[in-house]
């Protein structure tokens, strides 16, 4: 991991400011967001509170940035990419500050993500889906084992693995978790079901009945015992066949499906004895 220990604080510490590092005042419009920033949703009321504090006391802790040099028609242009402190940057803008204090570093890409992730978890909790996305990025993009992530974040390996599993939930349930409509405990119980349709059914029951975690777990156990019916799908090429048969027979309820074994099944649903008699007369 190289020099990560000097960049990443222990669980109970704030991000350190090394004694030998200089603090610079940089224009706000020259500081660009960090694309590795795990937090995507910033609470407006929380930002207003921080902006009021900054307006009165200033930015007490410098932001951490890295220098980015770009070529344009005027020559070499210098910008700064934010590594840590996006809440402070947004709040400073809201407070009307044109400059903010920064420490300039040149960390590696994974170090940028780690610093940003650690700062956000310690200062203003990420929602479970933001946290899961950040953990998965560390695992997939940077090859970090769940055990390594857990050590850096001060969590257990199981906690990291279970957090990442939230991304296996249907998007509608992930959104509910973000919005606080269901808890992490309820989400974990829903995840014990492997089928997404069953997960959605259970989620609907959680919302409708206000089930507590133990009730969700029990209902998930009961649902897991019931075999999931495989949904038969309609093949687009058979749509014309269905329509022609329906028109010839004068029957609206004609179902054309392909079974899980790949066989085509044509089903005619009769609404009355008269339809059956008319059908038989046409066959003659």
The reported pTM is 0.47
Angle, helices 184-191/196-209, rounded to nearest 10 degrees: 140
| Residue 118 clears pLDDT 60, i.e. is over it | yes
Chain segment 128-184, per-residue pLDDT in tens: 898 888 888 878 876 778 988 888 777 899 999 999 999 999 999 999 999 889 999
pLDDT at 19 over 60: no
- Is 21 a residue whose pLDDT tops 80? no
Residue 78 has pLDDT above 70, yes or no: yes
CA distances from 55 to 33, 61, 80, 164, 234 (A): 22, 14, 23, 38, 62
- Give SS3 for 126: coil
> What average pLDDT is seen over the chain?
75
- d(CA 14, CA 146) in angstroms, rounded, equals 23
Tens-digit pLDDT profile for residues 199-218: 999 999 999 888 899 999 99
pLDDT at residue 7, rounded to an integer: 40
Q: What structural domains does the chain harbor?
A: 4-123 (3.90.1530.30), 169-224 (no CATH), 236-283 (no CATH)
Q: Best-predicted range by mean pLDDT among 80-94, 177-191, 263-277? A: 177-191
Provide, rounded to the nearest whole percent, the portion of the chain with pLDDT above 70: 70
Beta partners for 265? 257
Q: Is 76 exposed, middle or buried (0-12, 13-18, 19+ CB in 10 A)?
A: exposed
Residue 204 confidence (pLDDT)? 92
């Amino acid at each position: 991991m190289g020099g990560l220990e000097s960049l990443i604080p222990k669980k109970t510490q704030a991000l350190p400011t090394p004694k030998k590092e200089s603090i610079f005042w940089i224009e706000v419009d020259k500081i660009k967001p960090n694309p590795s920033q795990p937090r995507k949703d910033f609470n407006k009321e929380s930002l207003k509170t921080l902006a009021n504090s900054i307006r009165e006391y200033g930015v007490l802790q410098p932001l951490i940035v890295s220098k980015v040099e770009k070529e344009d028609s005027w020559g070499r242009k210098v910008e700064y990419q934010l590594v840590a402190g996006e809440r402070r940057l947004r709040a400073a803008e809201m407070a009307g500050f044109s400059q903010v204090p920064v420490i300039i570093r040149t960390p590696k890409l994974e170090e940028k993500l780690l610093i940003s992730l650690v700062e956000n978890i310690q200062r203003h909790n990420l929602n479970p889906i933001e946290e899961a996305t950040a953990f998965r990025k560390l695992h997939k993009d940077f090859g970090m084992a769940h055990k390594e992530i857990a050590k850096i974040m001060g969590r257990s390996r199981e906690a990291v693995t279970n957090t990442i599993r939230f991304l296996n939930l249907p998007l509608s349930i992930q959104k509910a978790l973000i919005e606080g409509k269901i808890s992490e405990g309820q989400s974990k119980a829903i995840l014990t079901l492997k089928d997404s349709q069953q997960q959605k059914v259970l989620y609907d029951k959680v919302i409708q009945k206000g089930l507590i975690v133990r009730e969700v777990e029990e209902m998930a156990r009961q649902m897991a015992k019931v075999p999931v019916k495989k949904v038969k799908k309609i093949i687009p090429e058979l749509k014309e066949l269905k329509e022609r048969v329906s028109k010839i027979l004068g029957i609206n309820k004609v179902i054309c499906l392909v079974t899980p074994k790949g066989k085509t099944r044509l089903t005619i649903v009769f609404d009355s004895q008269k339809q059956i008699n008319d059908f038989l007369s046409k066959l003659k």
